[in-house]
């Protein structure tokens, strides 16, 4: 899934833990907004939907931020996780392919509130150019290079049809983007050092269908 080339820095956090840190972060934000000042690993684990031992081990990779007999300071731990993930700063993001899904993503407020700022919406179709979506103007895909250079964009989102995805990814990589979130079906091939994460709704539904079928078979027996 992720390719590592650069020299490993100080702490090496397991991939599975990295994927859970954002979940803890959200749970902590909810707790903080509810006015909770301190929480135990048990309580936080319940809020995040994981085993408490796993939570404690995950947090131990970041350091020793809890107090035995007491628990964790919600705001302090929240800051530490945010810093570790790197969302104390804002990451500029470009979205390519402003169709059905691209519109939804552009309108999604959860990005901005969680450390990401959409700096541009790009589409190859001239008919879409100039349209305003969530306060941002849709621009030609060919503006990619200048926008990435101007804002120092490192993260790109692909929401184009599958046939265009590889070409879009190539252009992104060529102009310096090193992390891609891909909604299009199929496999993207990128050079080492570029991270790609794929979201595939059909896969999710088909996994559900598999289990659903098994349940039905079990009832017959």
Ligand X SMILES: NC(=O)c1ccc[n+]([C@@H]2O[C@H](COP(=O)([O-])OP(=O)(O)OC[C@H]3O[C@@H](n4cnc5c(N)ncnc54)[C@H](O)[C@@H]3O)[C@@H](O)[C@H]2O)c1
Which residues bind to DNA, rule: CB under 7 A? 14-17, 39-42, 50-54, 56-57, 59-60, 64-72
By CB under 6 A, name the one of 201, 203, 205, 209 that touches ligand X.
201
Q: Which is nearer to DNA, 56 or 129 (CB)?
A: 56
Query: Counting contacts by CB under 6 A, is residue 159 touching ligand X?
Result: yes
The answer to whether 180 and 194 are in contact (CB under 8 A) is yes
| Subset of 124-163 contacting its own copies (CB under 8 A) | 154-155
Smallest distance from DNA to CB 116, Å: 24
By CB under 8 A, name the one of 35, 110, 126, 135 that touches its own copies.
110
Smallest distance from ligand X to CB 154, Å: 19
Query: Counting contacts by CB under 6 A, is residue 48 touching ligand X?
Result: no
Smallest distance from ligand X to CB 102, Å: 5
**How far, in Å, CA of 179 to CA of 36, rounded?**
35
Stretch that binds its own copies, among 33-41, 64-72, 168-176, 200-208 (CB under 8 A): 200-208
- The 3-32 site mask, x for binding its own copies (CB under 8 A), equals ---xxxx---x----xx-xxx-xxx--x--
The answer to whether 15 and 21 are in contact (CB under 8 A) is no
Helix axes 15-33, 41-48, angle to 10 degrees: 100
The answer to whether 187 and 216 are in contact (CB under 8 A) is no
Query: Counting contacts by CB under 8 A, is residue 92 touching its own copies?
Result: no
Residues 6+ apart with CB under 8 A from 147: 94, 119, 120, 122, 139, 153
Query: Counting contacts by CB under 8 A, is residue 108 touching its own copies?
Result: yes
Number of neighbouring beta carbons within 10 Å of residue 84: 17
Query: Counting contacts by CB under 8 A, is residue 195 touching its own copies?
Result: yes
Number of neighbouring beta carbons within 10 Å of residue 196: 18
| Subset of 89-128 contacting ligand X (CB under 6 A) | 96-102, 104-105, 107-108, 110, 123-125, 128
Residue owning tokens 């999710």: 204
| DSSP per residue, 16-50 | HHHHHHHHHHHHHHHHHHTT--EE-HHHHHHHHTS
The SS3 call for residue 211 is helix
Which residues are near ligand X by CB under 6 A? 96-102, 104-105, 107-108, 110, 123-125, 128, 141, 159-162, 164, 167-168, 183-185, 201
């Amino acid at each position: 899934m992720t390719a590592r080339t650069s020299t490993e820095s100080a702490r090496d956090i397991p991939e599975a833990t990295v994927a859970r840190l954002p979940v803890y972060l959200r749970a902590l934000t909810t707790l903080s907004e509810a006015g909770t000042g301190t929480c135990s690993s048990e309580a936080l684990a319940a809020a995040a939907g994981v085993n408490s031992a796993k939570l404690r081990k995950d947090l131990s990779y970041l350091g020793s931020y809890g107090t035995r007999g007491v628990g964790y300071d919600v705001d302090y731990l929240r800051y530490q996780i945010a810093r570790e993930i790197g969302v104390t700063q804002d990451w500029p993001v470009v979205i390519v392919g402003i169709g059905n899904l691209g519109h939804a993503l552009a309108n999604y407020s959860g990005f901005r509130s969680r450390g990401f700022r959409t700096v541009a919406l790009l589409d190859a179709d001239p008919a879409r150019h100039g349209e305003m979506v969530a306060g941002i103007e849709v621009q030609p895909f060919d503006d990619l290079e200048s926008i990435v250079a101007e804002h120092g964009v490192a993260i790109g989102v692909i929401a184009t049809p599958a046939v265009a995805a590889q070409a879009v990814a190539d252009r992104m990589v060529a102009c310096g983007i090193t992390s891609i979130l891909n909604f299009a079906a199929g496999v993207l091939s990128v050079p080492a050092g570029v991270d790609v994460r794929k979201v595939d709704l059909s896969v999710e539904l088909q996994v559900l269908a598999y289990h659903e079928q098994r349940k039905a078979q079990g009832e017959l027996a």
